[in-house]
């Protein structure tokens, strides 16, 4: 899998549209970089850019944007609500996929070194990239802001990590480094700047000082008034959302607002948010209000509503949740076919798709029928007495159905890998050995895929049994067909495991697979019979 790094440079310009777009365009035109978000603020006079790319690409993107800012932003004339010390004020690098924090530290140092050399600007390292305690956090380095740099930068303890130890009036100084994913999050307050700041002091980790710490860990906050919104905001940085997520902050702000007789009217996300944070919030409200929501899209809708993320501007999950922004197009041509086309593809004069894909499809339909009956039972007034049971079975049935669908294509893909191995050259002893190993690996994959189908289908049985006991009996035939289909899908996948075993030379592998597959097959026969017996007696 490819390495992916996020870069979130903050520039001290939020009003001049031409400058904002010029910086955005420099990132957009950098090969290998995907610009995900541009979030300008007039009152703050600051724009936050979010882009992702390979480790090499993000360095180029950050450099290109800094070069544009060097030409177009003059800090001698910059004023705004947000604290700042440079034209490119801060430029963090964040690991997203298959990249370690240590790698991002090196990325930030590479950027700082090149920016210092090519632009002649001073740069400080912070967070994971800094080894000095007194200049590790952004507020420590930014203290005194732009206006204090001229005096501060000449002191030995504040010598920049890269670049000249002198004041560059038109630029100021830049902070860069590697850090955990930061969520920039604003909570709306119908009140004054001072009232918003009072809540900020209460919730932020630093509180009002050493003797009066705040309520929430990994939380930084200040209060301000946003003229363009005509309301105050608690401006919050969540430095580790796994410790303090946005929904906990929002609920605490509501509690604080109530104590002060202030209305908290929604919130605003600045930049992007990880899917994990949104689903964590969904699970919080689902549990708190005893809801039953299994569809991911509905979970996101719930969070948008509960946090009031549409209050200021429209919250589009596809443009604000980072995983949705960078997800690659799924390649599931068989699963995406019409049913007619899939059947015709199976019937065609080709060996794939074959029994493995058909088995996965049948198992998915069996699980799907169970899910259908459970949802037709839940929420119906005359079945309120089994509400608890339906709430228990719907999530695993829904999950099983959706996990089985990709196996339709996975089985065909595994078979194709084996066929590719067979086509490898076999002219020399080395080529023969490489071909044999590739074929062995291909066969093992062709076995593991239907074995995975069996395991995913097996996970549905226990919930299906409970459904048979309490589900809408008017849908008895649907449950019967579903049980038979699930069992047939497992039996078919089992047969696809067996047919590929003779070509495997690894005897221990073969023994373990047969033992495991036969155990699942036996359980499938027992569970299918149990479900049919339960239905016969109802």
Residues noted as catalytic: 82, 411
Residue 379 CA to residue 150 CA, distance in Å, equals 67
Phi-psi region of 101 (alpha: psi -120 to 50; beta: other; left: phi over 0): alpha
What number of other Cβ atoms are within 10 A of residue 337's Cβ?
Answer: 16
Give the number of residues written for the chain: 538
Tokens 């800012």, located at residue: 69
Residue with tokens 């060996």: 351
Q: Which of 478, 447, 448 is nearest to 464 (CA)?
A: 478
Residues 93/177, Cβ–Cβ less than 8 Å: yes
Angle at 403 between CA 401 and CA 405, to 5 degrees: 75
d(CA 100, CA 175): 20
Question: Helix (H, G, I), strand (E, B), or coil: what is residue 93?
Answer: strand
Across 407-496, the runs of DSSP E, i.e. the strands, are none
- Tell me whether the omega of the peptide bond preceding residue 353 falls within 30 degrees of 0, making it cis: yes
Residue with tokens 């059947």: 343
Rounded to an integer, what distance in angstroms lies between the CA atom of residue 60 and that of residue 470? Answer: 60
Tokens encoding 475 = 């849908």
| Cα gap 489→360, rounded to integer Å | 6
Contact status, residue 127 vs residue 177, Cβ threshold 8 Å: yes
CA distance 291 to 278: 16
Handedness of CA 497, 503, 506, 511 (dihedral sign): positive
């Amino acid at each position: 899998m490819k390495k992916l790094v996020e870069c979130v440079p903050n520039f001290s310009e939020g009003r001049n549209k031409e400058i904002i777009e010029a910086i955005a365009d420099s990132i957009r035109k950098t090969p290998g970089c995907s610009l995900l978000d541009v979030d300008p603020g007039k009152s703050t006079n600051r724009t936050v850019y979010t882009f992702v790319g390979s480790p090499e690409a993000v360095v180029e993107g950050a450099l290109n944007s800094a070069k544009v800012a060097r030409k177009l932003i003059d800090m001698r004339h910059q004023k705004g609500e947000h604290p700042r010390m440079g034209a490119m004020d801060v430029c963090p690098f964040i690991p997203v996929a298959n990249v370690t924090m240590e790698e991002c530290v090196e990325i930030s140092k590479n950027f700082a070194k090149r920016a210092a050399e090519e632009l002649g600007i001073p740069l400080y390292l912070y967070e994971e990239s800094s080894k000095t305690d007194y200049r590790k956090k952004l507020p420590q380095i930014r203290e005194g802001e732009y206006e204090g740099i001229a005096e501060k930068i000449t002191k030995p303890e504040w010598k920049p990590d890269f670049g000249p130890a002198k004041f560059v009036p038109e630029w100021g100084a830049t902070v860069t480094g590697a850090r955990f994913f930061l969520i920039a999050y604003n909570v709306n307050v119908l009140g004054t700047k001072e009232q918003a700041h009072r809540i900020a002091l209460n919730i932020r980790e630093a509180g009002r000082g050493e003797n009066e710490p705040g309520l929430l860990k990994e939380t930084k906050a200040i209060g301000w008034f946003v003229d363009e919104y005509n309301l105050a905001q608690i401006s919050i940085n969540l430095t580790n959302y796994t410790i303090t997520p946005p929904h906990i902050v929002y609920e605490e702000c509501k509690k604080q607002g109530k104590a002060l007789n202030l209305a908290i009217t929604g919130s605003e996300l600045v930049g992007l948010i990880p899917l994990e944070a949104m689903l964590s919030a969904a699970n919080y409200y689902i549990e708190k209000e005893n809801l039953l929501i299994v569809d991911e899209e509905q979970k996101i809708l719930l969070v948008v509503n509960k946090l009031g993320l549409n209050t200021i501007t429209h919250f589009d999950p596809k443009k604000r949740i980072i995983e949705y922004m960078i997800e690659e197009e799924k390649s599931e041509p068989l699963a995406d076919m019409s049913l007619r086309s899939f059947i015709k593809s199976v019937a065609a004069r080709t060996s794939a798709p074959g029994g493995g894909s058909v088995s996965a499809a049948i198992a998915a339909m069996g699980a799907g029928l169970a899910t259908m009956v459970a949802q037709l039972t839940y929420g119906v007034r005359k079945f309120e007495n089994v509400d608890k049971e339906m709430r228990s079975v719907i999530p695993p049935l829904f999950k099983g159905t959706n996990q089985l669908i990709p196996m339709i294509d996975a089985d065909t893909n595994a078979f194709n890998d084996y066929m590719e191995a067979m086509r490898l050259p076999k002219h020399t002893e080395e080529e023969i050995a490489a071909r044999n190993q590739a074929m062995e690996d291909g066969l093992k994959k062709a076995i593991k895929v239907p074995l995975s189908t069996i395991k995913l289908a097996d996970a549905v049985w226990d919930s299906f049994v409970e459904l048979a006991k309490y589900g809408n009996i008017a849908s008895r035939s649907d449950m019967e067909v579903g049980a038979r289909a699930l069992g047939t899908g497992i039996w078919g996948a089992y047969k696809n495991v067996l047919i590929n075993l003779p070509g495997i030379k690894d005897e221990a592998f073969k023994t373990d697979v047969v033992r495991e597959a036969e155990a699942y097959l036996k359980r499938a026969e027992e569970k299918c019979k149990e479900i049919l017996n339960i239905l016969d007696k109802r």
